[in-house]
Structure 1
Amino acid sequence: MTDTQQAPRLAQAAPDRDLWPALRRGFRRKCPNCGSGPILKGYLKVRDHCPVCREPLHHHRADDGPAYLTILIVGHLLAPAMLTAFTMWQPDPLVLFTGFAIGTVALSLYLLPRLKGALVAFQWARLMHGFGKAG
């Protein structure tokens, strides 16, 4: 007895979307489709659609991903820098804390909306969570 299973076919042939240009656009906080319209309304609120090309963006499921990635990146950059600064110059602990607290907050505030845009653009490029559906 032979089992002839075929690979499941996609319901719709979705157009290919380039990942890296979409990620660059999203990191710049621009629409992953056209690259000119803003993806965010305010600091972290994603628009329902692009004001330029009308691409729907309400499908996104960014949730806690941008915050997790921000913590991951900031921690991996500043923890070794703090260790190096402490072992090389041995500053006063209050000076070390103040400098790295300001650096941590500044880098986190810079990265968070950019990583949210990149994550939404990643979902758009990979047709995740309804981005591939027509309409």
Structure 2
Amino acid sequence: MAEIKDDGKLAWILRSGWKGCCPRCGKGRMFASWLKIAPECGECGLDYRFASPDDGPAFFSLCIVAFPLTFLVVWFQVAVEPPMWVHLFTSVPLMMAGCLLPLRPIKGWLVASQYVNRAQEAGTEKLWARLHNQASGNAFGD
């Protein structure tokens, strides 16, 4: 994918992040294992050293999933007053699955977003260029 227009960026980010494919070519794999980012794309050779989603996936998973599920579990407790073992078999697996399953797509979306938008820390443009042996290039490193 040589050029992404502004109106197609979000769709490209969401698609490549959800599928875990390379944000440049859309064919190679972004992940080496469940949450570990591959060193580079096997198809186009994109070096994934630029990717630093840090705690973003966990934060978004907690905000989007854990908080609403917590309210659901509390409502269940107040409305039904089940014994604790019911929570052990319903609430705990629901919370664990709800928090762990979205981590990979969220991490993929963050990495794809960093690539498409050329996200980097302020003031590190020259260091970025030197590390990746490129002057300033286009937005997609081509």
Which TM bucket (shorter chain)? 0.7 to 0.9
Q: Which has the larger radius of gyration?
A: 1
How far residue 132 of structure 1 moved from its aligned partner, in angstroms, is 4.1
- Residues 88-109 of structure 1, C-alpha deviations (whole Å, 9 max, x = no match): 3322122124311111112222
Distance 1:23 1:84, change over 3 A: same
Kindly indicate whether residue 65 of structure 2 is the aligned counterpart of residue 74 of structure 1.
Answer: yes
Aligned to 1:23: 14
Cα pair distance change 1:118/1:15, threshold 3 Å: closer
SS at match of 1:81: helix
Structure 2 residues without counterparts, runs of 5 or longer? 121-127, 129-137
- Whether contact under 8 Å (1:23, 1:32) holds in the other structure is no
Is 1:46 aligned with 2:57? Answer: no
Length, aligned pairs only: 122
Task: Give deviations 1:61-99, integer Å, cap 9, x for gaps.
Answer: 111111111222222231122133223332212212431
Q: Which moved more, 1:60-69 or 1:72-81?
A: 72-81
Larger deviation, residues 118-127 vs 45-54: 45-54
In structure 1, the residue corresponding to 2:43 is in which secondary structure? Answer: coil
Tell me the distance in 2 between the aligned counterparts of 1:113 and 1:64. 12
- Is 1:101 aligned to residue 101 of structure 2? no
Aligned residue for 1:91? 82
Taking only the aligned residue pairs, the percentage that are identical comes to 26
Aligned partners of 1:121 and 1:133: how far apart in 2?
A: 11
How many Å apart are 1:134 and its aligned residue? 4.3
Post-superposition Cα deviations, 1:32-67, rounded to whole Å, max 9, x if no partner, equal 222222101012111122112222222011111111
- CA-based RMSD of the aligned residues comes to 2.5
| TM-score computed with the length of structure 2 as normaliser | 0.72
The DSSP-based 3-state class of the residue aligned with 1:102 is helix
Q: Is the 8 A contact 2:18 2:105 kept in 1?
A: yes
